[in-house]
Amino acid sequence: MFHFVLRRLASAVPTLFIVVTLSFFLMRFAPGGPFNLERPLPPATMENLMKAYHLDQPLWNQYLQYLKNAVTGDFGPSYIYKDNTIAELIGKGLPYSITLGSYALLLALFGGVIIGTIAALRQNSFLDFLIMSIATVGVTVPNFVVGPVLTLVFAVLLSLLPAGGWGDGSWRFLILPMIALALPQLAVFARLTRGSMIEGLHTDHIRTARAYGLPPRVVVITHAMRGALLPVVSYLAPCAAALLTGSAVVESIFTIPGVGRYFVLGAINRDYTLVMGTVVLVAIFVIVFNLLVDILYGLLDPRVRHD
Amino acid sequence: MDMQANVLSVRGLKVDFTTPDGDVKAVKGIDLDVKPGETLAVVGESGSGKSQTMMGIMGLLANNGRVTGSAKYRGQELIGLPLKGLNEVRGAKITMIFQEPMTSLDPLYTIGRQIAEPIVHHKGVSFKQAKVRVLELLKLVGIPDPERRINSYPHEMSGGQRQRVMIAMALANEPDLLIADEPTTALDVTIQAQILDLLRELQKRFGMAIVLITHDLGIVKHFADRVVVMRRGEVVERGDIEQIFEHPKEDYTRMLIDAVPSGAKEPPEDSAPIILEGRNVAVDFAIGGGFFTRATKLFRAVDGVTVRLKRGQTIGIVGESGSGKSTLGRALLRLLPSSGHYHFGDKNISNFDRSAMRPLRKELQLVFQDPYGSLSPRQTVGEIITEGLRIHEPQLSRAERDKRAIAALKEVGLDPAARNRYPHEFSGGQRQRIAIARAMILKPKVVILDEPTSALDRSVQGQVIELLRDLQEKHGLSYIFISHDLAVIKAMSDYVIVMKNGKIVEEGETEDIFDTPHNTYTKTLLAAAFDLE
């Protein structure tokens, strides 16, 4: 197990390197630059800026310099948020995104698995149909629609909850963005769970469990669900990485000071270092969660145990 | 008869399935009685309703199934019994073992836990308390080293061991009745004999009644006290063993008894030329290893085997699972990396690669065991059987290909109209005919038949063997016939090779091998297959 984790962490290094390299050059090949503003800067100012940020040097030098700094944990200054380094920006925003994302992930996972299981147990009934219809809506309606509608109903019309902001970080502020963020993922988990539960309930070993008079609770939870969770767990890694690194849309709608908006702002403004910072952040999350999921997978299924 | 004296008493039992094409009557009102301590065999071919009868009684039908009538366990009605009441009987008073030892156990839990579960739930003890009993049961069913094996997962055990685990589970609460649904069908013959011996011994010891559901009358004769023969959801004949085997009343029963394939094949003349030869064939498989890591171990599946197939000859290769017989077949056709010297006719094909082999493929054909898995469900039968023609005889026009397809289907005894239909519309036997037609349409010289009859009912098996023999005679084909089934090997081949662990343990003319086997393993195989005493 220990060796497995070590090996996986070692293999993360080349993965990160490839991600960084690809995004560095792709970003530079996109037209425009961080200082091409709507009102063009005077050429002298532009030249000074380029020099100050080493953007006048050959691309290769910039790349090597970036790599060198990145290894020491220095991801450079932001070109747009001029007083902040990338590390500061992410360090400030990430706790908000992670907090919100964790709640959303838990809601999506448990909510999705529970209603997916209920739908599977009542396969082809009205309830199954209803749940799956709602799940389809959950996947298809984008959260820039869900968010404002939630705000309109619960904040404006009913005045039950605040319309946005982080406030004191209490559940009253978190609940609406959490739902908006979780809903599409909850729908995916519900569909995955339903499908694999239906399959699981028809296996030979479930027939054995029933033939031996085990109570329905044991048949469903102990035997059918554990196997049915395997595909759900596989989806957990990309989902967790996406939710915990924040959502630009949801954070903008509910004015949450997380890191989600940096993805969009960085890209639009050609804020090279900010984009690179967010890319590395997501890559690390994906790598870490994939590793956690593989370990979890081994715990659930003895056939793929890593020794 | 006093109904109370029976362990199980079934009256007018019906099982129906609702399907999109209307209701299917799987069991059409049958009566059965099982007396304490006896063994009742319920015999029939696929689709006879023998399994669905028991599934219906035990409340294990699929969602679209419905059971009506009466089934009393010691006077207590089971049909319509609420789940709670039913769950007090199943797993405690009546237990079951199933055909599929590979999938009937939950892959995610240790066997110890799975055996303990029925004890825990029916006796209300903890898993810890149940452990002593589990160890005792594992010892009872002959699992070696139970203290260690109790923590094994099903995938770490062989098929025979898993079936022993199922038996341990079945005995855990000392049942009155054990329903064994084709308990040995998926197992090798020697393992089959061991499992049946174990069941018989345990029955003697604990006195439970056994209902044995099977298609194999060979087992029944040595194992059961009474027989019920089922066909298309009805009981066609019932009686005790002697009566059924000595004086069967119904033609169907007689057919089942006689269905053991008969006949023998004359060897080709001594002057017949060797058409396919493999000398010192060896195949290694890598075990373990991943994308970046080297394989940790090599497993030698076939170990220095020499096969010489003469024109018109049928060599039967017999062995149990893992003996390397199928791998040998594929190596002889150069379908997998192997070492050795290979000749086809007068060509040395030892160093032929994929593309060099391609023109020869037409003459070297292969028919697989699984008539369900080996035909693409998305192609029509016509497309399936003419696919080879498109590659090997691309000059043929569409009309000519169609003509060949019609001829091939007729030759294997199928209606030529079949070519516009899809494989799922056909029965197992018909599908195997389609697979044979696919090979024969290319007019091959050598056909390797890998367990072509193993997935079929005995009665259908006989027909397919008949067909293969006719085709051989008509076209002067040479066969390599791979099977675990000695009865089929005996009927098909004139020369037999017995394999174990990748090596030939004995070979010779069929008659000699079957009449005077020299090797102990061959003797064990023969004993297990033909004489269960």
Nearest to A212 among B83, B91, B153 (CB): B91
- In CATH, what number is assigned to the domain containing residue B92? 3.40.50.300
Range of the domain at B83: 3-102+177-258
**HSE-CB of B353 using CA atoms within 13 angstroms:** 1
pLDDT band at B1 (very low <50, low <70, confident <90, very high): very low
Please tell me the total count of domains within chain B.
2
**Beta strand B478-483 pairing with B446-450:** parallel
> Would you say residue B160 lies in a domain?
no
Provide the whole-model pTM. 0.80
Cβ–Cβ of B86/A210 closer than 8 Å?
A: no
- Whether B144 shows a pLDDT value over 50: the answer reads yes
> Would you say residue B265 lies in a domain?
no
Cβ–Cβ of B118/A216 closer than 8 Å?
A: no
- Whether B10 shows a pLDDT value over 90: the answer reads yes
Are A144 and A253 a contacting pair, CB within 8 Å?
yes
**Angle at alpha carbon of residue B185, lines to B229 and B139, rounded to 5°:** 115
Mean pLDDT of chain A: 86
Cβ count within 10 A of residue B495: 24
> Would you say residue B267 lies in a domain?
no
Residues B65 and B202 in one domain: yes
Residues B243 and B281 in one domain: no
Q: Helix, strand, coil % (nearest 5) of chain B?
A: 40, 25, 35
Structure tokens that stand for B419 in this block: 């070519």
Structure tokens that stand for B121 in this block: 């739930």
A92 contact B CB<8A: no
Are A196 and A228 a contacting pair, CB within 8 Å?
yes
Question: pLDDT of B22-31, one tens digit each?
Answer: 888 999 999 9
Residue-level pLDDT at B530:
67
CA distance B481 to A291: 48
First to last CA, chain B: 33
Q: What is the DSSP letter of B333?
A: T
Cβ–Cβ of A210/B60 closer than 8 Å?
A: yes
Long-range contacts of B22-27 (CB under 8 A, 24+ apart): B25/B233, B26/B52, B26/B65, B26/B233, B27/B52, B27/B53, B27/B56, B27/B233
Cβ–Cβ of B117/A208 closer than 8 Å?
A: no
Residues B285 and B235 in one domain: no
Set of chain A residues whose Cβ sits within 8 Å of the Cβ of B92: 213
Residues B216 and B354 in one domain: no
Residues B22 and B77 in one domain: yes
Cβ-based contacts under 8 A for chains A and B: 78
Bridge partners, residue B503, by sequence: B500
- Per-residue pLDDT averaged across B68-78, rounded? 93
Spatial strand order of the sheet with B274-287 comes to: B297-310, B274-287, B339-344, B347-348
Nearest to B100 among A204, A213, A218 (CB): A204
Residues B369 and B420 in one domain: yes
A14 contact B CB<8A: no
Nearest C-alpha in B relative to A210: B60
pLDDT band at B271 (very low <50, low <70, confident <90, very high): confident
CA distance A74 to A276: 12
Residues B343 and B382 in one domain: yes
Cβ–Cβ of B60/A301 closer than 8 Å?
A: no
10 Å CB burial of residue A229 (0-12, 13-18, 19+) is buried
Q: What percentage of chain B reaches a pLDDT higher than 70?
A: 96
Residue-level pLDDT at B488:
87
* Cα–Cα distance list, A210 to A203, A228, B110, B130 (Å): 11, 17, 18, 20
Cβ–Cβ of B106/A216 closer than 8 Å?
A: no
* Cα–Cα distance list, B91 to B7, B35, B51, B56, B110 (Å): 15, 19, 18, 15, 18
Long-range contacts of A160-168 (CB under 8 A, 24+ apart): A163/A254, A164/A253, A164/A254, A164/A255, A164/A256, A165/A254, A165/A255, A165/A256, A166/A96, A166/A255, A166/A256, A166/A257
First to last CA, chain A: 5
CA distance B411 to B470: 10
- Whether B225 shows a pLDDT value over 90: the answer reads yes
Residue-level pLDDT at B532:
43
Spell out the alpha helix ranges (H) of B247-303.
251-258
Cβ count within 10 A of residue B28: 15
Biggest CA pair distance of chain A: 85
Set of chain B residues whose Cβ sits within 8 Å of the Cβ of A202: 62
- Whether A70 shows a pLDDT value over 50: the answer reads yes
Are B183 and B163 a contacting pair, CB within 8 Å?
yes
- Per-residue pLDDT averaged across A115-132, rounded? 91
Provide DSSP, B128-184.
HHHHHHHHHHHHHTT-SSHHHHTT--GGGS-HHHHHHHHHHHHHTT--SEEEEESTT
A77 contact B CB<8A: no
Residue-level pLDDT at B293:
56
CA distance A262 to A152: 26
Residue-level pLDDT at B100:
82
CA distance B220 to B215: 9
Question: pLDDT of A187-240, one tens digit each?
Answer: 999 999 999 999 999 899 999 999 999 999 999 999 999 989 999 998 998 899
Cβ–Cβ of B121/A302 closer than 8 Å?
A: no
> Would you say residue B427 lies in a domain?
yes
A215 contact B CB<8A: yes
Set of chain A residues whose Cβ sits within 8 Å of the Cβ of B58: 211
Residues B215 and B338 in one domain: no
- Listed in sequence order, the residues at least 6 apart from B514 whose beta carbon sits closer than 8 Å to its beta carbon are B486, B490, B496, B526
Bridge partners, residue A85, by sequence: A77
> In terms of Cα–Cα distance, which of B212, B230, B231 is closest to B222?
B212
CA distance A187 to A189: 5
Cβ–Cβ of B106/A208 closer than 8 Å?
A: yes
Domain ranges in chain A are: 86-304
Residues B251 and B331 in one domain: no
Provide DSSP, A239-299.
HHHHHHT--HHHHHHTT--SSHHHHHHHHHTT-HHHHHHHHHHHHHHHHHHHHHHHHHHHH
Are B406 and B398 a contacting pair, CB within 8 Å?
no
- Per-residue pLDDT averaged across B312-326, rounded? 90
Residues B295 and B400 in one domain: yes
Question: pLDDT of A264-296, one tens digit each?
Answer: 888 888 888 888 888 888 898 999 998 898 888
Indicate which of A4, A208, A229 best probes the interface with B, i.e. most B CBs within 10 Å of its own CB: A208
Residues B324 and B410 in one domain: yes
Q: Report the CATH number of the A86-304 domain.
A: 1.10.3720.10
> In terms of Cα–Cα distance, which of A244, A272, A274, A262 is closest to A182?
A244
* Cα–Cα distance list, A224 to B166, B234, B493 (Å): 19, 35, 47
A226 contact B CB<8A: yes
Residues B252 and B389 in one domain: no
Question: pLDDT of B168-207, one tens digit each?
Answer: 999 999 999 999 998 888 788 888 888 898 999 999 999 9
